[in-house]
């Protein structure tokens, strides 16, 4: 802390002491020389204190200032060596500026190219620089060719242009630290001092010259910049390549606009006709106006673009919609004539990508999807991103069919950072007429999209009026689910049913599976497939699972001791970091022994690779069983067998029916036996099916043959007396 404070206090004290001494003629010479010596030593001290990763530029600053200080000290006694030292310092300065420019050029191409594609602003900036440099060269040449003019006078215009370029550099760079700003301030002060000296005809004025006050101020700026802690990052290419906003860069043109006027005020300015300076000022002013217009145009264009994907945003969509369906179509086409289509697209399971791989991977996926959509729609169409993972397509007549576009765009997975992302997209679309409005078209397409996600997930659905009632009903159900999770009383209650699990072929009851239902006040008894997916989408799945687990464990304590209870876990529960603690607390609160609980993982939802792995292994160590439910219908079945401590493999009814291949069932039984896992067949409805499965080696079964789901109090009647 003390060292950091010293790097600020020391330059300030030096400025407070040396500037007054420089202003007083008797002490001017020693004050100027001391200030120059301190400024030359400061970069070496700064490198030692702050350890910048790029220290060579600071060594160049020290060498430059040392050469200039020696040249100033020898100006009166040895003018020849003084000029030589000054030339060496100038050469070092040119090299330093080359380093600055080179690092900016290498670091900033992406942003510069992006801005160049949007506007011609950078070209205009370059034209302004060319005009002022050309004027300075012409003025310098005119002064050099004029008889009787001292040879330093033609150099003054270049000093003035250098001052303006340095100011332009500071104005156009974003995030420059105090160290670099002070360094540039020192360069500006030294260049102004040199300009005044050259314009007076004196190439190296001695330290006693009155303008030495300006030189001392410049040296104090070099001193402060070299010692400030931010000098560590002053030459960082990342910092040098960071551009300010277009409006800030436009303001940065101001110093260059003033160059023609400033050049006319120099002594060498009289060597050119006044019309030359006036013409140059007019050209520079005109270019500045053009630059301002380009900046405004670029800002307007950016305001209509999504910053992540570069697609049109809502504002840009409005402009494109008005171009397609606007005043220009009135009177040209019939009001009900189709003038295009609007499609609303939503990426399926995009939230899972963000949860599993992170938001950066999600952003890259969105960009890749945007590029595929742009390639698929062809010319004349508009692709917009309305927010999140939703995209809007405006397709003119004759544009591609939405279903075909989806199949073509997402036929292949997206490759990002060595990972393959299969992309599935649902869409709803509506035809546009001359009377269409954007809000209503988006609303209708949203209704069709909702219907698509509920029925033809991964496909496109055309809007139909009857869909609105269905969607409104679904939205009402979603609101009721939210209220149910919040514990409100007027949305009905959850009901728990139990279906027996029996051993084959003895048909001995092993336990029951807990199956949740919702007794809705107006819709009646709702099956879990109706409301659980909605609860999962809202993030309430774990809350409902916890209720089922608690209620089922409490009921199981009244059953025969050899019976187990099986409870399903949804995706939200599996990714919940508190899964193991919640199950342990429920077991402790209800008094149910861990070995009597079975947790069932459903395969219908793809899970992140680490979801629930540690929790289920921890619970398995306590004696809790783990079943893999609906095996054969969902995601990565074999991977789940390897990942989780599965003890029971529940075969889905789609592969246990009478038409199921015996070879397939026999292979699954053999696989389970090799892994030490029991096999339970779902959907057993008659004795013949039961006998066939038992003959194939299936250990247990579940289905209407053994009992339908019933409340806990009816279990004894439904399954008979346990054996």
Looking up tokens 């931010």 gives 230
Mean predicted lDDT score pLDDT of the chain:
83
Condensed to tens digits (0 to 9), the pLDDT of residues 397-425 reads 888 888 888 888 888 888 877 777 778 88
3-state secondary structure at position 714: helix
171: its two tokens: 């104005």
Model pLDDT for residues 191-200, shown as the tens digit of each residue: 999 999 888 8
pLDDT digits (tens, 9 = 90+) for 584-603: 999 999 999 999 999 998 75
| Distance in angstroms (rounded) separating the CA atoms of residues 597 and 511 | 10
Tokens 């001292």 appear where? 150
The per-residue pLDDT for 379 is 77
58-84 average pLDDT score: 89
Start-to-end C-alpha separation, the chain: 80
SS3 590: helix
DSSP secondary structure string, 631-668?
ETSSS-HHHHHHHS---EEEE-GGGTSTTS-HHHHHHH
Instruction: Answer yes or no: is pLDDT of 119 > 60.
Output: no
| Structure tokens given for 491 | 């949305």
**Span 65-78, average pLDDT:** 88
Give the Cα separation of 515 and 454 in Å (integer): 23
List b or e across 599-619, with b for residues whose CB sees 16 or more CB atoms inside 10 angstroms. Answer: bbbbbebebeeebbeebbebb
Element (H, E) at 509: strand 509-520
> CA 426, 427, 431 angle in degrees (round to 5)?
170
The confidence score (pLDDT) of residue 402 equals 86
Closest CA to 669 of 688, 656, 687, 685: 656
Place of tokens 């040098």: 240
Query: How confident is the model at residue 40, as a pLDDT?
Result: 93
- Top-confidence residue, 299 or 198: 198
Handedness of CA 451, 453, 456, 459 (dihedral sign): positive
- List of residues 6+ apart from 104 with CB closer than 8 A: 237, 240, 241
Q: For the chain, what is the largest distance between any 2 Cα atoms, rounded to a whole number of angstroms?
A: 126
- Burial per residue of 489-503, b for 16 or more beta-carbon CB atoms within 10 angstroms, e otherwise: eebbeeebbbbbbbb
- Please state the rounded mean pLDDT for residues 465-470: 66
CA gap 130, 136 in Å, rounded = 10
pLDDT of residue 117: 39
Q: Any long-range contacts for 258-261 (C-beta under 8 Å, 24+ apart)?
A: 258/164, 259/132, 259/135, 259/136, 259/160, 259/161, 259/164, 259/284, 260/132, 260/135, 260/284
Please tell me which residue, 687 or 5, carries the higher pLDDT value: 687
Residue 585 has a pLDDT of 93
**Local structure of 390: helix, strand or coil:** strand
The residues with which 627 forms a beta bridge, in sequence order, are 600, 648
Q: What is the pLDDT of residue 136?
A: 93
CB-CB contact of 325 with 419 (8 Å): no
Other beta carbons less than 10 A from residue 571's beta carbon: 24
**199-203 CB contacts, 8 Å cutoff, 24+ apart:** 199/153, 199/156, 199/266, 199/267, 199/268, 200/267, 201/149, 201/150, 201/152, 201/153, 202/150, 202/152, 203/83, 203/86, 203/151, 203/152, 203/155
**What pLDDT sits at residue 157?**
92
Cα 355 from Cα 353, distance rounded (Å): 5
* pLDDT greater at residue 232 or residue 654: 232
HEC-encoded secondary structure of 218-231:
HHHHHHHHHHCHHH
Q: What is the pLDDT of residues 39-55, one digit of tens each?
A: 999 999 999 988 998 88
Residue 418, Cβ neighbours under 10 Å: how many? 5
Taking phi over 0 as left and psi of -120 to 50 as alpha, with beta for the rest, 6 belongs to alpha
pLDDT at 512: 94
Q: CA distances (Å), 55 to each of 21, 40, 95, 103, 319, in order?
A: 32, 14, 14, 14, 52
Q: Are strands 700-701 and 493-503 parallel, antiparallel or unpaired?
A: antiparallel
* Cα-to-chain-centroid distance, residue 433: 37
Q: Residue 670: pLDDT above 70? A: yes
Nearest to 576 by CA among 555, 549, 554, 552: 549
Q: Look at residue 1 and tell me whether its pLDDT is greater than 70.
A: no
Q: Could you tell me if 245 and 24 are in contact, meaning their C-beta atoms sit under 8 angstroms apart?
A: no
**pLDDT grade for 388, boundaries at 50, 70 and 90:** confident
User: Would you give the distance in Å from CA 479 to the centre of its chain?
Assistant: 31
Gap between the Cα atoms of 637 and 472, Å rounded: 36
Three-state secondary structure call for residue 79: helix
Q: For residue 54, what are the CA distances in angstroms to 43, 46, 185, 439, 693?
A: 12, 12, 20, 56, 75
Looking at residue 563, its pLDDT comes to: 93
Of 705, 712, 665, 658, nearest in space to 686 by CA = 705
Tokens standing for residue 29: 């010479």
């Amino acid at each position: 802390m003390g060292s950091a404070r010293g790097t600020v206090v020391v330059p300030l004290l030096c400025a407070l002491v040396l500037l007054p001494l420089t202003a007083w003629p008797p002490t001017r010479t020693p004050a100027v020389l001391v200030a120059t010596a301190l400024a030359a030593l400061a970069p070496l001290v700064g490198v030692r204190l702050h350890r910048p990763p790029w220290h060579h530029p600071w060594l160049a600053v020290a060498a430059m200032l040392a050469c200039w200080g020696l040249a100033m000290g020898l100006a009166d006694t040895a003018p020849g060596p003084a000029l030589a030292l000054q030339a060496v310092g100038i050469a070092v300065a040119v090299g330093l500026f080359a380093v600055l420019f080179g690092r900016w050029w290498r670091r900033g191409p992406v942003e510069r190219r992006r801005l160049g594609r949007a506007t011609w602003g950078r070209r205009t900036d370059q034209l302004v620089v060319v005009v002022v440099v050309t004027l300075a060269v012409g003025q310098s040449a005119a002064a050099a060719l004029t008889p009787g003019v001292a040879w330093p006078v033609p150099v003054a215009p270049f000093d003035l242009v250098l001052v303006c370029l340095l100011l332009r550099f500071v104005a156009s760079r974003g995030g420059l630290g105090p160290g670099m700003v002070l360094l540039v301030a020192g360069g500006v002060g030294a260049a102004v001092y040199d300009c005044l000296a050259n314009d007076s005809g004196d190439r190296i004025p001695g330290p006693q010259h009155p303008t030495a006050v300006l030189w001392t101020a410049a040296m104090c700026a070099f001193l402060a910049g070299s010692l400030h802690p931010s000098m560590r990052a002053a030459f960082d290419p990342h910092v040098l390549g960071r551009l300010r906003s277009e409006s800030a860069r436009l303001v940065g043109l101001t110093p260059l606009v003033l160059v023609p006027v400033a050049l006319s005020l120099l002594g060498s300015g009289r060597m050119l006709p006044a019309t030359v300076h006036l013409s140059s000022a007019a050209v520079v002013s005109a270019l500045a106006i053009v630059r301002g217009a380009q900046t405004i145009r670029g800002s307007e264009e950016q305001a209509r673009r999504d910053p992540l994907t570069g697609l049109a945003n809502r504002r840009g969509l409005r402009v494109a919609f008005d171009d397609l369906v606007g005043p220009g179509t009135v009177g040209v086409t019939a009001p009900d004539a189709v003038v295009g289509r609007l499609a609303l697209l939503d990426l399926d399971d995009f939230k899972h990508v963000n949860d599993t791989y992170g938001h950066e991977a999600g952003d890259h996926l969105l960009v890749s999807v945007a590029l595929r959509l742009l390639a698929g729609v062809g010319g004349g169409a508009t692709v917009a991103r309305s927010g999140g993972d939703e995209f809007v397509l405006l397709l003119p007549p004759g544009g591609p069919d939405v279903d075909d576009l989806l199949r073509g765009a997402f036929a292949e997975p997206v490759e990002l950072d060595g990972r393959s992302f299969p992309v599935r997209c649902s869409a709803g679309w509506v035809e546009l007429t001359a009377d269409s409005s954007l809000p209503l078209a988006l609303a209708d397409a949203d209704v069709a999209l909702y219907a698509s996600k509920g029925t033809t997930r991964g496909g496109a659905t055309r809007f139909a009026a009857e869909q609105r009632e269905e969607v409104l009903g679904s939205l009402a159900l979603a609101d009721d689910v939210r209220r149910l999770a919040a514990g409100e009383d007027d949305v009905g209650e959850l009901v728990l049913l139990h279906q027996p699990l029996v051993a084959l072929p003895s048909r001995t009851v092993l336990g029951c599976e807990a199956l949740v239902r919702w007794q809705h006040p107006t819709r009646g008894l709702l099956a879990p497939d109706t409301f659980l997916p909605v609860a999962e989408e809202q993030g309430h799945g774990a809350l409902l699972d916890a209720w089922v687990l608690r209620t089922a464990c409490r009921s199981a304590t009244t059953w025969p001791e050899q019976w187990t209870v099986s409870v399903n876990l949804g995706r939200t529960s599996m990714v919940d970091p508190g899964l193991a603690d919640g199950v342990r607390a429920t077991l402790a609160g209800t008094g149910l022994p861990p070995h009597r609980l079975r947790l069932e993982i459903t395969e219908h939802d793809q899970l992140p690779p680490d979801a629930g792995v540690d929790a289920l292994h921890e619970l398995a160590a306590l004696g809790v069983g783990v079943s893999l439910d609906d095996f054969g219908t969902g995601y990565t079945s074999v991977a789940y067998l390897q990942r989780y401590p599965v003890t029971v493999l529940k075969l889905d009814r789609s592969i246990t029916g009478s038409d199921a291949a015996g070879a397939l069932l026999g292979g699954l039984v053999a696989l389970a036996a090799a892994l030490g896992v029991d096999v339970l067949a779902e959907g057993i409805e008659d004795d013949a099916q039961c006998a066939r499965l038992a003959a194939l080696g299936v250990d247990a079964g579940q289905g209407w043959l053994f009992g339908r789901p019933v409340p806990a109090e009816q279990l004894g009647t439904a399954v008979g007396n346990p054996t």
